[in-house]
């Protein structure tokens, strides 16, 4: 019930102690996932929120997706296990991207969707470095 790294670490240590199992064994029941690091794409401040809106429209019309959350940027659930997030930085002139999938094939598919979406935008030349 807390958003605190030290508290969470202590809880994990307590669970390990009480179960007498190493962390690797406790985590083995959860699936391994693959994800990107944070990817930053330069984008002028005056355009970045417009770009997010255009990307949302692109996804809604050209991507087979399960769910879109547009609370802070767009988070697109593409499959049961794969998603990507594109958001405008509030402090700098860039878009921030992340993606996560069940395996490297799914992650590659998600990155392809992101690249296609970004390539569809011609109002700004974005520096893309994946």
Q: What is the DSSP letter of 74?
A: E
pLDDT of res. 130: 53
Using the predicted structure, report yes or no on whether residue 122 has a pLDDT greater than 90: no
Closest among 110, 129, 86 to 34, alpha carbons compared = 110
**What number of residues does the chain have?**
130
The pTM (predicted TM-score) of the whole model is: 0.75
User: 119: pLDDT confidence band, cut at 50, 70 and 90?
Assistant: confident
Specify the 3-state DSSP secondary structure of 78. coil
**Contacts of residue 118, Cβ cutoff 8 Å, sequence gap at least 6:** 41, 55, 126, 128
Question: Which has more pLDDT, 1 or 48?
Answer: 48
pLDDT of res. 124: 47
Q: What is the dihedral of CA 50, 53, 55, 60, to 10 degrees?
A: -160
On average, the pLDDT of the chain sits at 90
């Amino acid at each position: 019930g807390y958003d605190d790294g030290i508290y969470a670490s202590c809880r994990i240590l307590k669970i390990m102690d009480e179960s007498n199992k190493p962390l690797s064994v406790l985590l083995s029941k959860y699936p391994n996932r693959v994800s990107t690091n944070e990817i930053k794409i330069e984008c002028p401040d005056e355009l970045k929120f417009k770009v997010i809106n255009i990307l949302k429209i692109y996804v809604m019309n050209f991507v087979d997706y399960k769910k879109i959350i547009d609370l802070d940027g767009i988070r697109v659930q593409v499959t049961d296990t794969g998603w990507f997030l594109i958001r405008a930085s509030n402090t700098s002139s860039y878009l921030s991207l992340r993606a996560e999938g069940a395996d490297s094939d799914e992650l590659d598919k998600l990155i392809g969707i992101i690249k296609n979406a970004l390539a569809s935008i011609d109002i700004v030349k974005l520096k893309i470095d994946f």
